[in-house]
Structure 1
Amino acid sequence: MASKIFHPIFFILLIFIPLAPIGHAKRSSPSDKNSSPFNFIKKLKGCQKGNSTKDIHELKAYLEKFGYFSYENNAHAMDDDFDDTLESAIKTYQKNYNIKPSGIVDDETISKTTTPRCGVPDIANSINYMQPRDNNHESSSSNIHTVSHYSFFPRSPKWPSSKTYLTYRFISNVPTYARAPVARAFQKWYSVTQFSFEQVPTNQNSDLVIGFYRRDHRDGFPFDGPGGVLAHSFAPTNGRFHYDAEERWSVGSVPGSYDLETLALHEIGHLLGLEHSRVNEAIMFPTFSAGQVKNLHPDDIQGIRALYNQ
């Protein structure tokens, strides 16, 4: 294989201060925390099978959005009955996020479900890719035995073997301060994969496209406002990566803001073919806290190398 070339873009030094959202959206602040679209779950503390409590239908919608179940009868999806199907979905969620699978909306479950996250579902085509499967991977090195929890999309889509040089571009609404963090994220994936990445002008065709969007932006996965879904992207070879423009973004760790590079690392993982991991320290773990900065983890690196047989 030819030697890889990474084409860096000009990096702008920034002081680590909160950065305003794109456009004219309202800046979030500590007083805005209660506006999170996931905060309704806090009112369901202690709910369990047999309960009929206001807003349970919203919990059903939340779990359905991320792939945990789908009611054949829409009436059940819209009611507030805590039934067997919902209990089973909550237990599955709890297992995926390393919580005791009680089926009860307890404090730990509330803490995790209200944490902002990637919009890519955890379960696709009724297959739970966050749980160990027949093709789960084990490795042993220096007498240390580990189990990997990386996963792939259904049917394991990936870029063809002849396609190791990928171009990317920013659409015109992406501000200057957001571009260098994304470029750094590409460089980190470059260092552990067979891929090379090059930024091309906005008006040029490219393999990958990065943009900032609000609410319904016509890709079938509308954003939900501050504090909910932070970003999403698509499996190969779709190439689209979207940030939610209503979030408060930053460069580096800033209280109350989300690190652009951390989310870029996660979403590029999806662009290359990785699904979510249940390893909390992995970049492909689905949730992200404000002020959190993460990097590639051995689980992520093992996963991408396994997908492309490196």
Structure 2
Amino acid sequence: MENFLKAQRGSHVNGISELKTYLHRFGYLLSENANFTDAFDVTFESAILRFQSNLGLSLSGKLDFDTVSQISAPRCGVPDTIFSTSTFTLHGTTRHYAYFPGKPRWARRMPMKLTYAFSPDYTIRYLSSSQIKAVFKRAFARWASVIPVSFSETEDYVYADMKIGFYSGEHGDSEPFDGVLGVLAHSFSPENGKFHLDAAERWAVDFGTEKSAVAMDLESVATHEIGHLLGLAHSSVKQAVMYPTLRPREKKVDLQLDDIQGVQALYGSNPNFNVGSLSESDISTNQALNLRSTTRLSSISAIASFWFFLNLIHFFSSM
């Protein structure tokens, strides 16, 4: 760690080749040659700057503490490259929510109904089936509360729209898992429906009873990956559910305005959704809109109505 912090362009530091491999895997270092060296070169510096920009870090171009800390954090296996971005500006601040290439979405009649199922073969034994199902029911419900899409569990795994399983190592999709921490899970864009979690992780549904220092919150990861299944890519907003990293024993399950506006631009708004249902703390700390804690809910409702109107125009024009 100390050697990385002292590194600068022109230096050679053991381990930089591994950082290059990481940046290449997640879309920041574009190279056909994966035989990386330990040289801190211009290409590596540019990749660091892209990484820092995309994850909302200070743009130092160096391996500072925050950058190395983010690289070492457990994360989703989906690359971070922002292929297509919708932007909006408020209070002079521009933020982004991102999609997969081509902006894919589930193409069904509205209101949409999608099914999900759990693999009968690829699961974990230290959590009961009822515990796992309860976590996913809550995670799907969060997304359903903001868009006109409902999710129901089915026992028919073969024909379910979304297929969930816990896998180890290489498992047939050319995206092998890497053991404890590292990559936690990955899922695929619409309408693939595959959602894979690393069985090697210590998955937790209650940190009160699960004492492991490396325990990962299953509900947080489930909520994040469902966003990918619906068509969202990663967000640069740190509070957003769609931010790519999650720390051990951290819980992040509440959709932020960045998450909501991104998914509503794809599917429209649930007619029962009201921004007032978000807690004041969620709104006041949401970097996507750069709102101060003193912002009144009445003003936020007016803003949300404006964006809801724009989302409806976008939704119907894309049909």
Shorter-chain TM-score bucket reads 0.7 to 0.9
- Residue 220 in structure 1 maps to residue 174 in structure 2: yes
Q: Structure 1 residues 147 and 78 mapped into 2: Cα distance closer, same or farther (>3 Å)? A: closer
Deviation, structure 1 residue 148:
4.0
Which of the numbers 160, 185, 200 marks the counterpart of 1:231?
185
Is the 1:67–1:121 contact (alpha carbons within 8 Å) kept by the matching residues of 2?
yes
Partners of 1:101 and 1:84 lie apart in 2 by 15
Question: Which residue matches 2:6?
Answer: 46
Question: Which residue matches 1:5?
Answer: none
Question: Which residue matches 1:171?
Answer: 119
Identify which range, 146-155 or 84-93, moves more after superposition: 146-155
Is the 1:171–1:202 contact (alpha carbons within 8 Å) kept by the matching residues of 2?
no
Is the 1:42–1:110 contact (alpha carbons within 8 Å) kept by the matching residues of 2?
no
Deviation, structure 1 residue 151:
1.1
Greater helix share, structure number:
2
Partners of 2:47 and 2:177 lie apart in 1 by 23
The one-letter code sitting in structure 1 at the alignment partner of 2:100 is F
Partners of 2:218 and 2:47 lie apart in 1 by 31
Deviation, structure 1 residue 146:
6.3
TM-superposition CA deviations, 1:92-139 (whole Å, max 9, x none): 111122222121111111111111011110016xx4x6xxx6x41346
Using structure 1 for the length normalisation, give the TM-score.
0.77
SS in 1 for 2:221: helix
Q: Structure 1 residues 200 and 161 mapped into 2: Cα distance closer, same or farther (>3 Å)? A: closer
Deviation, structure 1 residue 194:
1.1
Question: Which residue matches 1:293?
Answer: 251
Larger RCO of the pair (alpha carbons < 8 Å, separation 6+): 1
SS in 1 for 2:238: coil
Partners of 1:55 and 1:286 lie apart in 2 by 23
Deviation, structure 1 residue 80:
1.6
Is the 2:118–2:157 contact (alpha carbons within 8 Å) kept by the matching residues of 1?
no
Question: Which residue matches 2:87?
Answer: 136
Is the 1:252–1:260 contact (alpha carbons within 8 Å) kept by the matching residues of 2?
no
- Taking only the aligned residue pairs, the percentage that are identical comes to 44
RMSD of the TM alignment (CA)? 2.0
The one-letter code sitting in structure 1 at the alignment partner of 2:103 is S
Question: Which residue matches 1:6?
Answer: none
- Residue-pair matches, total: 257
Partners of 1:73 and 1:296 lie apart in 2 by 39
Partners of 2:43 and 2:204 lie apart in 1 by 39
Question: Which residue matches 2:278?
Answer: none
Which of the numbers 24, 30, 46 marks the counterpart of 1:64?
24
Question: Which residue matches 1:187?
Answer: 141
* Structure 2 segments unaligned to the other structure (5+ residues): 270-319
The one-letter code sitting in structure 2 at the alignment partner of 1:174 is T
- Residue 308 in structure 1 maps to residue 264 in structure 2: no
* Structure 1 segments unaligned to the other structure (5+ residues): 1-40
